[in-house]
Structure formats: C-alpha cells, structure tokens
Amino acid sequence: MEDKQAIQLYQALFHLSRKMHRMDHWSGHRCTTEHRALHHSQHHLLELVSNYNGTMQQDLAEKMDIRPSSMTELLGKLEQADYIVRKKDEEDQRIMRVFITEKGQQHVGQFQKAAAELTMNLFDCLTNDEQSHLLILIKKVSTNIDRKIKSSALPMCHHQIKHQGHGQHSRHSAVTDFDKNHDQGN
C-alpha cells in the first residue's frame, strides 16, 4: 500500500473512531439520568460483573487492564450506587468477590438495549455482507497490530514502559478483548 493511501486510511479510521465516540456520547444523553451518572468505564465494569458474577476483584482489574487501586475505586462507586456488592471469599478471606445486584442487572439490560440500538444505527448503511467483510478487515488489522506490539515492531512511547500491564498503553491490547468477544459470536 502506498504511504499516502495508508495515511488516508489511518486518518479516515481515526475520524470514524471520533465520530463513533461522539455518537456514543450523544446516545448516552438520551438515556435516563441514572445511566448518565455512570462513566463509560463503570458501564463496562458493570457488564463484566454481570458476565462473570462472583469473580475476584483482581480478575476484573486484569480483564479491564487497570491497576487494582483503580479497580477498587470503580467498584466502590458502583457499590455505593447499589449496582454491585463485594464479599470476602468464604475459603480465603484475602480474596474479594464481586456480585451484581438486581438494580445492577436491570441497568445492564437497559444499557445493552440502548447500545444495540446505537450499533444498529451506526451500521444500517451497510448490507450484512458488507458488515461481515468490514469485521473481517478490522480483525485482520487488529491482529496485525497485536502481533507487531508483541514483537516490539512498533515504536514504543515512554508511557508503554512505565505502564506496561496496566491501562491503555500496555502490551495487552484492548483490541484483544474485542477479538475474543467477536470470535465467540458476541
């Protein structure tokens, strides 16, 4: 691929990502006040707790690729709003397990419904075949990026060294969760 075309493709994807983010933000304003009270990361965490009810707090931090202290803060806010409860493991008191409440489960259901509507609106201009083809291409680029990150073929910024293993700059690509979810048909 020509350098110029690669740059145009990168810019187009970057602008598309920003537009999708704005549309996601805009759709959040259409949700109830209670939905808007939660930050995007709190929604994501609540969905994880719903999917892995009773999991260890440490495992949630690893799945979201954030520091344990940040996870504690996020869970504290969700617990204060009665979306989750934390309980010590019966066999090992050092382990904290996280459970979703009925209120939390209702919130997840409503949020998933709104998210499904948003995604349908994003891609209604594409046929099913075009959507499938686009997904294949995105996964191909994602896999290529993951491979280059793992082999250190991409230049590293100073943050990657400092934050390795926690947050967006880690070698654990956020796109990997995307790939896993879509490989499982989610």
Q: Mind giving me the DSSP string for 135-176? A: HHHHHHHHHHHHHHHHTT-SPPPHHHHHTTTSSTTSSS-HHH
Nearest to 176 by CA among 138, 131, 143, 140: 143
- The pair of three-digit structure tokens given for residue 113, joined into one six-digit string: 């419904």
Neighbouring CB atoms inside 10 A of 94's CB total 6
Amino acid 153: pLDDT: 62
Q: Output 54 or 150, whichever has higher pLDDT.
A: 54
pLDDT digits (tens, 9 = 90+) for 100-155: 999 999 999 988 888 888 888 889 999 999 999 999 999 999 999 889 888 876 66
- Contacts (Cβ under 8 Å, ≥6 apart) of 20: 122
Amino acid 27: pLDDT: 64
DSSP, collapsed to helix, strand or coil, labels residue 95 as coil
Which residues partner with 88 through β-bridges? 96
Residue 183 has pLDDT above 50, yes or no: no
Q: How many residues does the chain have?
A: 186
pLDDT digits (tens, 9 = 90+) for 30-52: 555 455 568 878 988 999 999 99
CATH of region 38-125: 1.10.10.10
Answer yes or no: pTM beyond 0.95: no
Nearest to 72 by CA among 110, 103, 45, 53: 45
**Cα–Cα distance list, 34 to 16, 30, 37, 59, 149 (Å):** 28, 11, 5, 27, 38
Query: Which whole number is the average pLDDT over 2-6?
Result: 90
Residue 24 has pLDDT above 60, yes or no: yes
